[in-house]
Structure 1
Amino acid sequence: MDDYNISEEYLQDERSRSAKNRIALSTLYLGDGSLERGLVDSIDYNLKRNENLHVTVLLDYLRGTRGVAQEKSSTTLLKAIADRAAVYLYHTPKLTGLVKRVLPERTNEIVGLQHMKLYIFDDSVLISGANLSDSYFVDRQDRYVLFENCKDLADFFCNVINAVGECSFLLNSDGSVALHPNCSVHPYEGSFVEYRDLLRSRIAKVIDALQTQQASAQRNSSDTLLYPLVQMGLFGYHEEYELLKRLLSSKDSTTSITMASGYFNCIKEYEQLIFSEGKYSMDIVTAAPK
């Protein structure tokens, strides 16, 4: 496990061109600059030379199609590989009917988004706070943790991406989109309850499979334990929320916690736990105000 200072070279050359078996990318959107084009070109290059490579991309539908009329959208770039890769577009089931028709592009995302930021190359997983956009590559120092050669973790997150993807739209090579054939409930035209239950059941299968696998796995002497968490409040998963409540309410004065965030804007419940209840020492790493 490494803290990683990501760069465009890492994604374009070190990973996207050299991956042997799989590339799975989950992000809010893909930018339309030269660096993002370079990433897609690198994946395209690899796909043409490696018939065993499986590529999956999961974007948010609203952000991923923004600017499509001007041919500056994520889908405009990705349609070049859509005939050989699965490009999924998740659409929130909360944006429907009149509200969907009335809200403009730059406002509709307030209703709900998919913004898991996972970049998987073979059995290595990069968990990030950054989208695949040149502003993150060039202008920002963001949060990245790289887990090298961790197949179980890579399998789990790939399965999460595919579970969400199969309840989403698929991008075609002509730039059009169609509902995934395994999605039996339309995200914004069908029943919200039925869609919620469908996606929840698919995520449940992924989590159950991991728990079963780990229960039977042989324990070793590693000094680090890794617990992947799923936070999808709309679908009834609050694992991160529940863990943070337990962690931040700790009365163990020997505990030391370090929190890193681009901006410190905790919900009131977390603030109450940190400043009034917790007895641990805490370091907070955040951006300077200027």
Structure 2
Amino acid sequence: MSVENDDKKYLPKFEWLKKSVPNFPVNACNIKLLRSPSEFYQTLIEQCSNVKSRIVIASLYIGTGKQEVFLINTIKKMLDKIPDLSVRILLDANRGSRGKENSSRTLLLPLINSSNNCRVFLYHTPKLRGIVRWLLAERYNELVGLQHMKVYIFDDNILISGANLSQDYFTNRQDRYILIKDSKPLVDFYAGLIDLVGKISFHLSSENTLCLDSSMKYHPYKSLYNSFASEAKFLLLNYYNSHIKKICSGEELSSDTVVFPLIEFPPFGIHNDSEIITKFLEHAEAESTLNLATGYFNLPDIYIKTLFKKSKANINVLFSHPMANSFQTAKGPASFIPTAYSVLTSNFYKEVQKYNLENRIKCFEYEKTGWTFHSKGLWYIPKNYKWPIFTIIGSSNYGARSLNCDLESQIIILTDNQKLQKTFFMEKCDSYKSAIIYTPNCEKLIVPLWIRFVLKIFKNYF
């Protein structure tokens, strides 16, 4: 039976997080959850229009439609207006270069040409190299690994999301978005992290060419993999760990709300995010509830093993119906991706049935006419409590490629503030509002043999 208790304090139960994750106390009233793609876009425009000192963007790519052009023009206007405005943009090199004449790179050239204070970084995974890099065509080379973080900074405000910067994410692709205002320490941490990833990435010149930071000894794909990966790991892990030590050695958690940033950088052997998520899944108390959402369902083996054999919590898993999969309108081999995910969800549900876990693990499908589903994250409701005491939001899809391929970052927002807990609850309910109980229809699922073969060999790339 759920109860509502104003005196319930949960932060002390998560002191263990401080030992492995930086923590930033924030004011609960400065946290705003956005509800729709249009509100996400309007917030980006408003934040850009009122900026005074810095804009920092990390995304997979930026589209080239009218809304994206207006966003970039807004940034350019602010660069022209404020000579000292600092602009840093981090994208994925392959995804950001897709389309030679009309790409994220060409869209951003006016910013670089208008100010010396604007820098554009293009991350190239070190895993794409040699003959594979030469053989894989545009678009398919992105399977090997991406810059996948979605972080949007304006002065001392930070917007964390799973959404990219393109028209569908501004109109009819449902995602999650949380704006945290006036949190300079947290924003400084992310700005520094993005600058550091930028240091190991290519820099875009005003002539639309790519070059490396002169301080880097090794090249992402021309140098030996281990040489580049070791250099990058040393820089990134030292930065992340230095923030753990700095905060844990001094400041005590006096706020009722704390933000913990997580990172997952598989090419460099950094698995902080997945280790924390696995620990949460394993130690969530019996009769508590974990709500997990992902637009692309492909839980890695470590999560499945933990859910089936170690976790005692009730689990509600939300994923996209094939018609709400963002690849539903794709052409060529990519058009079969929704079918591949249907196979993965069906296989997972068969395992749930095999272990007789239907009462503890329930699956839901998101389907809304004309919409695709890209939301991901966790909401945790303790035993005998009504509201989520924390949510996790960010770029990770909780899939195998998040643990094996892409650069990811999420934040845990842990709170004893009941007003914020109720806001998390409303967001969770909104996410499940267009969902129905998953009922596999294996008889109607026609799967070409080649898809089953591809999944068997390349499951970690989905």
Residues of 2 paired with 1:209 and 1:269: CA distance? 28
The CA deviation string for residues 116-145 of structure 1, in whole angstroms up to 9 with x for no partner, is 111111111111111111111111120112
1:205 partnered with 2:213? no
8 A contact 2:125–2:267 mirrored in 1: no
**Unmatched segments (≥5 aa) in structure 1:** none
Q: Pick from 195, 199, 213: which aligns with 1:162?
A: 195
The CA deviation string for residues 96-121 of structure 1, in whole angstroms up to 9 with x for no partner, is 12221221102111111111111111
Partner of 2:226: 193
8 A contact 1:168–1:183 mirrored in 2: no
**How many pairs are equivalent?**
287
1:233 partnered with 2:266? yes
1:72 partnered with 2:115? no
Residues of 2 paired with 1:11 and 1:52: CA distance? 20
8 A contact 1:24–1:158 mirrored in 2: yes
Partner of 1:128: 161
Report the more deviating stretch, 138-147 or 203-212.
203-212
1:39 corresponds to which letter in structure 2?
L
**Unmatched segments (≥5 aa) in structure 2:** 1-30, 321-365, 369-462
8 A contact 2:54–2:87 mirrored in 1: yes
Partner of 2:17: none
Report the more deviating stretch, 22-31 or 202-211.
202-211
8 A contact 2:122–2:198 mirrored in 1: yes
Partner of 2:53: 21
The CA deviation string for residues 252-283 of structure 1, in whole angstroms up to 9 with x for no partner, is 22533232322443223312322443112334
2:225 corresponds to which letter in structure 1?
F
TM-superposed CA distance for 1:94, in Å, is: 1.3
8 A contact 2:60–2:96 mirrored in 1: yes
1:163 corresponds to which letter in structure 2?
L
TM-superposed CA distance for 1:289, in Å, is: 4.5
1:60 partnered with 2:92? yes
1:42 corresponds to which letter in structure 2?
T
1:36 partnered with 2:68? yes
1:101 corresponds to which letter in structure 2?
W
Q: Pick from 80, 83, 91: which aligns with 1:51?
A: 83
Residues of 2 paired with 1:184 and 1:33: CA distance? 38
1:257 corresponds to which letter in structure 2?
L
Residues of 2 paired with 1:260 and 1:147: CA distance? 21
Partner of 1:153: 186
Question: What secondary structure, in the 3-state scheme, does the structure 2 residue paired with 1:207 have?
Answer: helix
1:238 corresponds to which letter in structure 2?
H
1:182 partnered with 2:215? yes
Change (3 A) 1:260 1:149: farther
Residues of 1 paired with 2:178 and 2:318: CA distance? 15
8 A contact 1:167–1:182 mirrored in 2: no
Partner of 1:93: 126
TM-superposed CA distance for 1:52, in Å, is: 2.2
1:10 partnered with 2:40? no
TM-superposed CA distance for 1:57, in Å, is: 0.3
Change (3 A) 1:53 1:256: same
Q: Pick from 118, 121, 128: which aligns with 2:151?
A: 118
- TM-score for the superposition, normalised by structure 2: 0.59
8 A contact 2:59–2:164 mirrored in 1: yes
2:168 corresponds to which letter in structure 1?
S
TM-superposed CA distance for 1:7, in Å, is: 3.0
The CA deviation string for residues 28-83 of structure 1, in whole angstroms up to 9 with x for no partner, is 11111011111110100001111221100001000111112xx2110010011114
TM-superposed CA distance for 1:285, in Å, is: 4.1
TM-superposed CA distance for 1:17, in Å, is: 1.8
8 A contact 2:52–2:155 mirrored in 1: yes
Partner of 2:330: none
Poorly superposed stretches of 4+, deviation over 3 Å: 282-287
TM-superposed CA distance for 1:220, in Å, is: 4.8
Report the more deviating stretch, 72-81 or 273-282.
273-282
Residues of 2 paired with 1:275 and 1:94: CA distance? 32
1:63 corresponds to which letter in structure 2?
R
Greater RCO between the two (CA within 8 Å, min separation 6)? 2
1:77 corresponds to which letter in structure 2?
L
2:307 corresponds to which letter in structure 1?
I
8 A contact 2:125–2:146 mirrored in 1: yes
8 A contact 1:29–1:132 mirrored in 2: yes
Residues of 1 paired with 2:199 and 2:214: CA distance? 8
Identity %: 37
8 A contact 2:127–2:267 mirrored in 1: no
Report the more deviating stretch, 49-58 or 248-257.
248-257
TM-superposed CA distance for 1:191, in Å, is: 1.8
Alpha-carbon RMSD across the aligned residues, in angstroms, is 1.8
